[in-house]
Amino acid sequence: MALFGLFNYSKPGPGVDKNGPKKKRFFYFFELYGRKFWKLIELNLLYLVCCIPIVTIGPATCGLVYILRNFANEKPVFMVSDFFDAFKSNFKQGFVIGLFDLLTTGIVSVALIWYIANQQLSIAMAIPLVICIIVEVLLMFMRFYTYLMTVTVELPIKYILKNSFIFAFLGLKSNLISGFWTVLLILPLLWLWPWLLFFVVIGFSTLAFIATFNSYPYIVKYIIEPHEKQMRAEMGEDDEDDDEDEEDDDEPIFTDIGSQEKPALPEKKPGKQKIIR
């Protein structure tokens, strides 16, 4: 029952003005996070259940990131079925990347702890300590893109890791923002163990959502859009004609092109060519 017009969800909203100003991404993120809050809790619990066997952490992260990518783009999602579809279709690459992630992060973290504990032995310990910190940060920045590219682009693992390394520097501004929130939310675990409950409920999906929201625009700009432009050029489509069609609101939605239809070009053999999913 509505109370003075409040909580009346059947009442139509004011709608969205397509010509209205776009919201800044900072405010848009929190608006989107609020709307997806309960879904993020469901997704977080689903992710934890699928991560119980350690070998499934990588594929489960692929399922998590796939759902969050659709959340960030406001695409419709069927939570459980889409999660497990991404889990299964990316199992092999997800497993290898997850294993690589665990091993590298684990080794660097152990070295970091050792150098911190023994830095009083010699001032020279500061050098490997700083190196470990830089490598740990670099691995974190790469992680923002590895799983996201795995569920978005069909590429060999070595190219996914190579591109993630490039994006770690190319998207430095967004990476610093994502990294700041990652450290800010994880750091309390060192002193406040009840904070672990936050991660059990919604912490993992929150951190991954922040990273996905900030990182995906770089994949769109430097991978998806160039790929689509190349495909249009190979099909003989003219971008200028497309722009003119978009500006002309009086054109009919459907037109009979008849003999103007261009024959389909033969498919290229799979190789280094990326396939957008």
The residues, ordered by sequence, that sit 6+ positions from 33 with a Cβ below 8 Å of its Cβ are: 40, 206, 209
The Cα–Cα gap between 221 and 223 comes to: 6
Question: Does the CA dihedral 121-124-129-135 come out positive or negative?
Answer: negative
| Predicted local distance difference test score (pLDDT) of residue 214 | 95
Looking at the chain, the whole-number percentage of residues with pLDDT higher than 70 is 77
The Cα–Cα gap between 197 and 190 comes to: 13
Contact 168, 142 (CB under 8 A): yes
Per the rule left: phi > 0, alpha: psi between -120 and 50, beta: everything else, 265 is: beta
| Predicted local distance difference test score (pLDDT) of residue 20 | 47
Q: Which of 61-70, 195-204, 259-268 has the lowest mean pLDDT?
A: 259-268
The tens digit of pLDDT for each residue in 155-194 reads: 999 999 999 999 999 999 999 999 999 999 998 887 888 8
The Cα–Cα gap between 104 and 109 comes to: 8
Question: 277 or 68: which carries more pLDDT confidence?
Answer: 68
Per the rule left: phi > 0, alpha: psi between -120 and 50, beta: everything else, 7 is: left
Buried b (16+ CB within 10 A) or exposed e, 27-48: eebeebeeebeeebebbbebbb
Q: Is 268's pLDDT higher than 90?
A: no
DSSP for 158-206, please give it.
HHHHHHHHHHHHHTHHHHHHHHHHHHHHHGGGGT-GGGHHHIIIIIHHH
The Cα–Cα gap between 277 and 274 comes to: 10
The mean per-residue pLDDT over the stretch 6-19 comes to 44
Question: Binning pLDDT at 50, 70 and 90, where does residue 119 land?
Answer: confident
Please give the sequence-ordered ranges of beta strands (E in DSSP) within the chain, or none if there are none. 153-154, 275-276
Question: Binning pLDDT at 50, 70 and 90, where does residue 277 land?
Answer: low
Question: Binning pLDDT at 50, 70 and 90, where does residue 22 land?
Answer: low
Q: Is 58's pLDDT higher than 70?
A: yes
Q: Is 47's pLDDT higher than 50?
A: yes
User: Two tokens at 130?
Assistant: 């700083």
| Predicted local distance difference test score (pLDDT) of residue 259 | 37
Per the prediction, the chain carries an average pLDDT of 81
The tens digit of pLDDT for each residue in 224-253 reads: 898 888 888 878 765 554 444 444 444 443
Amino acid code (one letter) for 168? A
Q: Is 15's pLDDT higher than 60?
A: no
| Predicted local distance difference test score (pLDDT) of residue 48 | 94
The mean per-residue pLDDT over the stretch 38-44 comes to 95
Crossing angle between the packed helical segments 204-219 and 37-50, to the nearest 10 degrees:
100
Question: Binning pLDDT at 50, 70 and 90, where does residue 201 land?
Answer: very high
Question: Binning pLDDT at 50, 70 and 90, where does residue 124 land?
Answer: confident
Question: Binning pLDDT at 50, 70 and 90, where does residue 271 land?
Answer: very low
Question: Binning pLDDT at 50, 70 and 90, where does residue 122 land?
Answer: confident
